Structure 1
């Protein structure tokens, strides 16, 4: 999100310095790896609108950098009827294509998935290459004049006045009229008391496909207990995971270790619902979720600070549009109502 904000601000001619805590391509947060789901399929119109804007900006970023980032494979929601009906209705009201599919048709098209309930297909769904996207955002920002400094942890952010923020790193103190804070799991440490989020360590996994040439959609399985998401990650396998079930962690003291009970539960899920994979051939993944009580994002301004936080395990698809909203806020625009800071001010 910080890299997207840097790109958007640099495009507007701002004097931008992007401070990154870690080296390029690190695996300590929530934005690493080769695949994140992109989808317009939400039940809330403002999320659909934000995803549509992100789609345009992903294509713009691809054009600016010459690197393909987004691959639209199509996607399905299946399982419980009620949430899928809400999504289908919202997409129809927004003019986004989608269709209900018979179980036999879905099973024939995607034999790697097992379907027993309603299936709704939406073609404008796919995957974004996460590592390449972050690198492209930073490259495009640099081309537009931004300065990017890796391995430069921010130690403190202090508001000194209406147009004066002090940012302290190990090597220097910077002063700026506006500061965008997009610190992921480190947000509560950097801005204590400002917002309420829960930081968890999640562990999806890549499963080896039985047929490497088989077609896979991105998928969401709506269930009464654990929501499941998944997609094909070229070169790595079929990624699947439970949504937001991991233990709370301190991001500076994570063990990155696979939790045996959760791993076994995910393998059992694959054994029952993913007939196209070897459920015992897995490569675990460790990442963080930073989740608000409502799972809505925080994209807001308080004084000279713009805060981007709480992306709750579903934010990556929106990245360039969130960067654009951050630039709008820097310029004095009001926040979108859904994304305002609802907690401590």
Structure 2
């Protein structure tokens, strides 16, 4: 099989890259070791947070572009993939004034609420200080988004191969020859697009990718513990917001969607995770992490039974500064290390890949491989 661009990995980033490339007329192959959005990576399930609330104006501007992409994807796929719930930022570790300034700069709506007003709106949460409410926040259905983007990529002419695990990378003329570990045809391409998430550190060990490996920042793969709690009695889960709360813990929470039977919300720590690799992760929730989240619910969510009804894990792949990698080094493009906050940007990531293929500018902060600023 031949293609101009071979995209390795069919999670949110890879599916988006394949969709955008194929839609722009680029001959594209999408290669996935398992199945798109499989539960061993970072793009599975039905619940990821979308929010504009960053203290960094550049990220806020990128969320605006991403939201336009989600709307475009919904129209193209004929299904809603982002459900608006509203979102809260709270806690002394969240710089609410800086977030407000960044939102103002983008012309985005928000409210700064005293604790008493917030408690009146969301009585199931305990508030100790001011809260920032951003009405455009919501929940992304990651798995359905991947499925939609892969389908759109195929409709635009992309060749998709599943159960195709990359085993060999070698030079072939002015491009690359990619070989799978088992049955399956080799792929020849001009440009190699690595969207492998937690597998990136392992794939970059290939001898021919030594320049990429040397240019990558330090990447840390962690297994994050996620815990599901039931909605309080009498509370309609459809009105439950997403929230980010940074106090003693750095916690995020959101309605759990299909992930645990629509019965409650999922909650996790953003910072704490056990360092693993994509192949050594064991899927076991850390007992200490579970207990910290139980204690958090007991303290900050009065009325919620502090007994989890489901637990799971997911993978983060993080850079030291939590910025992404979206860059090109010669004929290799890397889109990875979304550092636990990349799902919301999925439709935009594919746009940025298409820009790189076309030789156009992309955000300077994401150019981590030594490409010209």
TM-score (norm 1): 0.95
For 2:188 and 2:123, the matched residues in 1 are separated by 57
For 1:282 and 1:102, the matched residues in 2 are separated by 32
1:205 matched to 2:214? The reply is: no
| Equivalent residues of 1:107, 1:115 under 8 A apart | yes
| Equivalent residues of 1:83, 1:222 under 8 A apart | no
| Equivalent residues of 2:231, 2:263 under 8 A apart | no
The partner residue of 2:31 within 12, 19, 36 is 19
1:264 matched to 2:286? The reply is: no
Equivalent positions of 1:201-280 (< 5 A) are 201-211=223-233, 212-214=235-237, 215-223=239-247, 225-234=248-257, 235-280=262-307
Root-mean-square deviation over aligned CA pairs? 1.8
Equivalent positions of 1:149-228 (< 5 A) are 149-159=161-171, 163-170=174-181, 171-192=184-205, 193=213, 194-195=215-216, 196-211=218-233, 212-214=235-237, 215-223=239-247, 225-228=248-251
Give the direction of change, closer, same or farther, for the CA distance of 1:311–1:217 in structure 2 (3 Å limit). same
Q: Deviations over 1:74-126 (max 9, x none)?
A: 11101117612211111112211111012122111112211112201111111
SS of residue paired to 1:46: helix
| Equivalent residues of 1:244, 1:313 under 8 A apart | no
Q: CA deviation at 1:336?
A: 1.6
| Equivalent residues of 2:30, 2:158 under 8 A apart | yes
SS of residue paired to 1:286: strand
Give the direction of change, closer, same or farther, for the CA distance of 1:327–1:78 in structure 2 (3 Å limit). same
Give the direction of change, closer, same or farther, for the CA distance of 1:154–1:82 in structure 2 (3 Å limit). closer
The partner residue of 1:130 within 126, 134, 142 is 142
Structure 2's unaligned 5+ residue stretches are 1-12, 206-212
The partner residue of 1:76 within 83, 88, 92 is 88
For 1:51 and 1:156, the matched residues in 2 are separated by 36
For 1:81 and 1:294, the matched residues in 2 are separated by 17
Give the direction of change, closer, same or farther, for the CA distance of 1:157–1:85 in structure 2 (3 Å limit). farther
Q: Deviations over 1:38-91 (max 9, x none)?
A: 011111222112111111111111111111111111111011176122111111
1:321 matched to 2:343? The reply is: no
Name the structure 2 match of 1:109: 121
Number of residue pairs matched by the alignment: 343
For 1:39 and 1:256, the matched residues in 2 are separated by 27
Q: Deviations over 1:268-290 (max 9, x none)?
A: 11111122422113311210000
SS of residue paired to 2:144: helix
TM-score (norm 2): 0.88
Give the direction of change, closer, same or farther, for the CA distance of 1:158–1:85 in structure 2 (3 Å limit). farther
Give the direction of change, closer, same or farther, for the CA distance of 1:244–1:158 in structure 2 (3 Å limit). farther
Give the direction of change, closer, same or farther, for the CA distance of 1:287–1:82 in structure 2 (3 Å limit). closer
Q: CA deviation at 1:343?
A: 7.8
Q: CA deviation at 1:21?
A: 1.3
Q: CA deviation at 1:159?
A: 4.9
Equivalent positions of 1:325-336 (< 5 A) are 325-336=352-363
Q: Any runs of at least 4 consecutive aligned residues in structure 1 with deviations exceeding 2 A, and if so which?
A: 156-161, 170-173, 342-345
Q: CA deviation at 1:251?
A: 1.1
